[in-house]
Structure 1
């Protein structure tokens, strides 16, 4: 029997309602836990803690979205089973695949909206969170950004700060090529500019050879070697890049091109971008998992045992995804494989379980 549009809309509407309820509930819980943690880090400054928790909330909701979909879908299917609405549909000749299709499409649509619409909001707020956290709690001064004009790095010192521009970076961050150092005594007072073909990062200082030194009083003076103190290391430089989570889904491809043109690896950002692309597939699989663990409540197993099995399965899937993601970050797996494998495995496993459910 063909599934009627009215029933499809009804199932989709029930699922959307429960997803919204679950999103609000988990969102409030996540916000409360985040606020308590930020309050501890901010030494009791409630205003700062509230700002940090608010800025971080969209990112945390994005992280918990698979669980929101799973638990919201479980509640929706459980209510439909308890009211015998799905039993009536099955008795009318509608297969499990037919009445699950609208729900799966809702899950996939939520994944698409999360990737294309919600992610830009979450990434921009997380970027602001990182700025506030660095300024008020971590008190860090070294920042790095990549643009079409090259790599820009800022380092702090006791006497002021130094802004560095390099066209490329080599030796895993230990050497800057076609480099300019702008030295400031404070944010407003320029002291000198140093131009050189390269600068090498030594233990505690930048070694600049064949440099041209410019000041306000002396427009250009050649120096064979010049040193600038620094607390930077190659690892600090590599870790100073904007985290992929702080970049919009739409901005990552262009950032990747600029990053790789500057001599850096874009593996981490490519992995994250592909994981966003795979989100609709993963969330559709979560809906199928929810159906498997709730549609037979009251027939063979108790509700608590079945829902408990669903929770355990979801956390096992999360652990497996985390392991695969770590392998991707370490270079053990290609970025595309590491990003798409969890969603693909979850989908195949969920479909196999639904086939088993449908057959008996």
Structure 2
């Protein structure tokens, strides 16, 4: 074997060893910071729920802890960008302080090369968060919403969208009304091809009303072109009739499953059902693309962390530089929420709102690193 081939093999072995070392250091800082933040969030969540449930003297502490645990995976998913940013800054700061990266760069390893292991780990974490953590968080957050509706919000109306259309349960003083519609307006104010099933008590059927449309006015459904059927009586036609209700358009829209309670794998199908039923699916579409962009966002956080922590230690401004990185992370968080709000309101396209945080973070991190490495 030639000398050149041996030299290339040695460089490859060194590169692999260095990559594994940086990956291990990054993982240690990531999981240490991640579980520390999770523990703090759990304590704060329990305290918050105890305060919110203080008026419910009958609610046991076990329910409070259960609700906090149900919500924990969702928070774990939300703090991933900050955890990656913090883990990257601590990893590269330590390697720079101990001059390990100085030696690596003297051996001809560029900043882009020793960033690849951390970027690879962040991509794996992002993919695992989207494909594995998100489905678990969605299921548990749905359980949390049920307990919250039962113990805090006293929510009773339920709405679901399926292949057969829209289903809504409307509670009454002495029973309930189940409403089915083929389509609805975007605001939920008008239902088309609608059927009302009226029950007294738990399950005693009273009557059925089939109508061409039903409009939600204040305190009543205004039903048009209806046919009323009752047990033991012939069906009769009604050109217009009013059915009392306590529902409002806000209550109907709030009854939809929040996008955070739907698994990443089920979001495309649910979005299709919503659009088929006549509702806007902007919130769910934004959530789907937000999850798609998460691995890219986490990789951008690695670039940002490196740009703030790879500077020479002799500059005497290490604390200021690290603090600047932390402040930058929080600024990006608030800007992300602002952009998402613009997307939901229709001011900018949903896809642009969902991918902007990842794209902007990636461009800022790359620009800062180019300035640091080649400037």
- Alignment TM class, shorter chain as reference: over 0.9
Matches of 1:298 and 1:147, distance apart in 2: 59
Q: Which whole-Å deviations, capped at 9, do the CAs of 1:134-167 have from their partners, x for residues lacking one?
A: 1121111112111101001112121222111100
Matches of 2:96 and 2:234, distance apart in 1: 81
Q: Tell me, yes or no, if structure 1 residue 354 matches structure 2 residue 365.
A: no
Matches of 1:87 and 1:170, distance apart in 2: 63
Q: Secondary structure at the match of 1:184?
A: strand
2:231 to 216, 220, 234: 216
- Give the structure 1 partner of residue 44 of structure 2: 33
Deviates more, 1:313-322 or 1:42-51: 42-51
Give TM-score scaled by structure 2 length.
0.92
- Give the structure 2 partner of residue 276 of structure 1: 291
Matches of 1:266 and 1:285, distance apart in 2: 28
Q: Secondary structure at the match of 2:347?
A: coil
1:19 to 30, 33, 43: 30
Number of equivalences: 360
Q: Tell me, yes or no, if structure 1 residue 181 matches structure 2 residue 196.
A: yes
Matches of 1:345 and 1:325, distance apart in 2: 14
Larger Rg: 2
Matches of 2:42 and 2:112, distance apart in 1: 36
Deviates more, 1:212-221 or 1:114-123: 212-221
Matches of 1:26 and 1:171, distance apart in 2: 39
Q: How does 1:304-319 map to 2 (within 5 A)?
A: 304-319=319-334
- Give the structure 2 partner of residue 345 of structure 1: 360
Q: Tell me, yes or no, if structure 1 residue 264 matches structure 2 residue 307.
A: no
Matches of 2:286 and 2:114, distance apart in 1: 34
How many angstroms does 1:220 deviate by? 3.3
Deviates more, 1:24-33 or 1:185-194: 185-194
Q: Which whole-Å deviations, capped at 9, do the CAs of 1:51-71 have from their partners, x for residues lacking one?
A: 111111111111111111111
**Do the aligned residues in 2 keep the contact of 1:78 with 1:297 (CA within 8 Å)?**
no
Is there any run of 5+ residues in structure 2 with no aligned partner, and where?
A: 1-10
Q: Which whole-Å deviations, capped at 9, do the CAs of 1:71-120 have from their partners, x for residues lacking one?
A: 12212222222322212111111000000011111112211111111111
- Give the structure 2 partner of residue 8 of structure 1: 19
- Give the structure 2 partner of residue 286 of structure 1: 301
Matches of 2:337 and 2:268, distance apart in 1: 23
Q: Tell me, yes or no, if structure 1 residue 122 matches structure 2 residue 137.
A: yes
Matches of 1:89 and 1:51, distance apart in 2: 49
- Give the structure 1 partner of residue 85 of structure 2: 70
Q: Secondary structure at the match of 2:354?
A: helix
Q: Tell me, yes or no, if structure 1 residue 134 matches structure 2 residue 149.
A: yes
Matches of 1:186 and 1:80, distance apart in 2: 70
